């Protein structure tokens, strides 16, 4: 998802062939088990994984303290800060009622790009433990190590590139999992760590050196084997804990070839590697990024991802008959190579099986003009069998997660297409209130938009409610989260974080946190620039607000987490 240009994160607002015929499929809304209750992330007063739960909808429906009546400049604001040693790309996680330090506390866990993890009291700010996980005798990789024709200078990261993807916590075993990176300047390694969250001590078998290989003729293969590359493969998405397995995904640094999209799964108890999946084993690229949001998963254990660039003519799609994707307009229908696609993956043996997929009709234009799919964070719409995805050409694609629509050279046979402005580098969110349901999207160089969802038809309203508040510019959209006390009127709040000015895609810029009435986003309740002393300092890109137990935790690139709450 990093752009093939000298300056990363270039915004392209024109749309190539994006006006499509829309053929609604039969309504597919059902009432399966709520995907937000995938084990063990079912305690909503906790935030144990990126965007609250495995649906990735970003909705905490058990917030009993903060309301639309008390989140205002008189009653709500900055309470204290939690200092750390470097920038924060990973969303802070919260475990409530944790037995620690001879008591029971609400603990917030913070990971930095210096490979350091902190356990702080989330209510008072006391530090319980902190530990660094750089390999002894090595250092943390940094942006200067990422040198290629696509990324020199490499400005997607300001300096260190240690822990980047949001960790995941198992509240039952009290274990936190994350990926740390180290180098001696020549050799680069990535390790999966599993820690006791009460002490910071390594679990048995931790850390695990991450290695993998698959059979394939794709870019960088050696004698028909494609190997995982710990230098070029960027662990950006949040980790997922699904039915006893920890899943980790990778994209790239600046489309620096050779690279591929990988998902590797480990047994959460033994840390034994049990799943290896490469989405372009006979091609190239296909990075899994989604603006840093985690892999979505349902209660049955299937994973849902969108993949990015797959250059034509190099097998990144396989088409029936000749193994290429740019001759005669043949349909890329083979399941082996699935770049530029939304994909449902089901565990099968030691890998993941493509059980459904969708590739946009204009995928050739997407590749040729760097308008790749998979740039926006994706989520499963709670209580339905629908999967929301977004593409850099400005289109939102709503899919039936079990029958995504495949590929057709003439039509996108999907549930719904919603055309928008912007390049969709953003983290959307979903809210289910007593009466209303909304999806919120705030892309760069656009305004905040709320799309009402009709549970009866399984469709979103074509016309959005639009906020008039100024939004993010440059190459980064906003990162959104929602909180409410279930369906209680007056408790739904949409939280938005973004770079207040400048281009957060390739520089450190001031940040702002805003709160809106979730049922009427034209009503701003509060923002961090209203009152002196409430400022967010700098913006941590692609890192959503964490809301739990009356607190809002906002990471920054200023080596602090700012904690907001009732004064």
Residue ranges in the chain whose pLDDT is less than 70: 1-44, 311-332
- What pLDDT score was predicted for residue 323? 36
Are 402 and 344 a contacting pair, CB within 8 Å?
yes
Two tokens, residue 322: 């000749």
CA distance 177 to 197: 10
Handedness of CA 95, 98, 100, 102 (dihedral sign): positive
At residue 368, the 3 state secondary structure works out as helix
Q: Tokens 């890192």 appear where?
A: 543
Are 287 and 341 a contacting pair, CB within 8 Å?
no
CA distance 23 to 443: 26
- What pLDDT score was predicted for residue 477? 96
- What pLDDT score was predicted for residue 315? 44
CA distance 337 to 351: 14
HSE of 13 in the Cβ direction (CA atoms, 13 Å)?
9
- The 8 Å CB, 24+ separation contacts for 329-334 are 329/409, 331/407, 331/408, 331/409, 332/359, 332/363, 332/407, 333/406, 333/407
CA distance 544 to 483: 12
- What pLDDT score was predicted for residue 469? 86
Three-class DSSP labels, 225-274: EEECCCCCCCCCCCCEEECCEEEEEECCCCCCCCCECEEEEEECCCCCEE
Are 430 and 444 a contacting pair, CB within 8 Å?
no
């Amino acid at each position: 998802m990093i752009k093939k240009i000298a300056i990363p994160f270039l915004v392209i607002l024109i749309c190539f062939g994006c006006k499509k015929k829309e053929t609604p499929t039969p309504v597919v809304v059902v009432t399966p088990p709520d995907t937000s209750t995938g084990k063990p992330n079912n305690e909503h007063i906790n935030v144990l994984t990126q965007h609250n739960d495995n649906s990735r909808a970003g909705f905490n429906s058990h917030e009993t303290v903060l309301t639309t009546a008390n989140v205002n400049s008189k009653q709500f604001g900055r309470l204290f800060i939690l200092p750390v040693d470097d920038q924060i790309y990973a969303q802070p996680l919260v475990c409530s009622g944790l037995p620690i330090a001879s008591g029971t506390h609400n603990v917030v866990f913070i990971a930095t790009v210096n490979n350091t993890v902190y356990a702080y009291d989330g209510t008072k700010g006391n530090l319980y433990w902190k530990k660094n996980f750089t390999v002894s005798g090595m250092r943390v990789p940094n942006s200067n190590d990422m040198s290629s024709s696509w990324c020199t200078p490499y400005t997607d990261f300001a300096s260190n590139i240690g822990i980047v993807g949001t960790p995941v916590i198992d509240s039952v075993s009290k274990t936190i999992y994350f990926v740390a990176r180290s180098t001696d300047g020549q050799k680069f390694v990535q390790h999966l760590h599993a820690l006791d969250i009460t002490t910071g001590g390594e679990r048995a078998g931790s850390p695990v050196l991450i290695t993998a290989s698959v059979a394939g003729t794709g870019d960088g293969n050696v004698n028909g084997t494609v190997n995982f590359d710990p230098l070029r493969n960027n662990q950006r998405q949040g980790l997922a804990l699904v039915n006893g397995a920890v899943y980790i995904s990778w994209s790239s640094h600046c489309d620096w070839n050779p690279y591929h999209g990988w998902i590797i799964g480990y047994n959460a108890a033994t840390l034994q590697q049990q799943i290896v999946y490469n989405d372009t084993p006979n091609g190239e690229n296909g990075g899994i990024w989604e603006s840093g949001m985690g892999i979505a998963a349902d209660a049955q254990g299937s994973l849902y991802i969108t993949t990015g660039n797959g250059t034509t003519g190099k097998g990144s799609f396989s088409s029936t008959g000749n193994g290429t994707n740019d001759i005669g307009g043949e349909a890329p229908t083979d399941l082996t190579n699935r770049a530029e696609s939304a994909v449902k993956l089901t565990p099968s043996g030691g890998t993941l099986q493509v059980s459904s997929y969708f590739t946009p009709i204009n995928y050739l234009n997407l590749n040729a003009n760097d308008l790749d799919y998979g740039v926006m964070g994706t989520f499963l719409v709670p209580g339905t069998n629908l999967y929301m995805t977004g593409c850099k050409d400005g289109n939102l694609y709503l899919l039936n997660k079990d029958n995504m629509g495949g590929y057709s050279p003439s039509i996108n046979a999907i549930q719904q297409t919603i055309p928008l402005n912007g390049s969709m580098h953003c983290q959307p969110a979903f809210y289910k209130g007593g009466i209303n349901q909304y999806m919120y999207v705030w892309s760069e160089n656009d305004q905040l938009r709320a799309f009402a969802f009709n549970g009866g038809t399984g469709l979103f309203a074509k016309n959005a409610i639009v906020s008039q508040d100024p939004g993010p510019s440059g190459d980064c959209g906003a990162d959104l989260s929602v909180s409410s006390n279930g369906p209680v009127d007056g408790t739904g709040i949409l939280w938005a974080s973004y770079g207040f000015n400048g281009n957060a895609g390739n520089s450190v810029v001031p940040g702002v946190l805003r709160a809106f009435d979730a049922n009427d986003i034209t009503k701003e309740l509060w923002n961090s620039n209203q009152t002196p002393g409430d400022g967010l300092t700098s913006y941590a890109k692609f890192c959503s607000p964490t809301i739990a137990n009356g607190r809002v935790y906002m990471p920054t690139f200023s080596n602090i987490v700012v904690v907001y709450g009732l004064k």
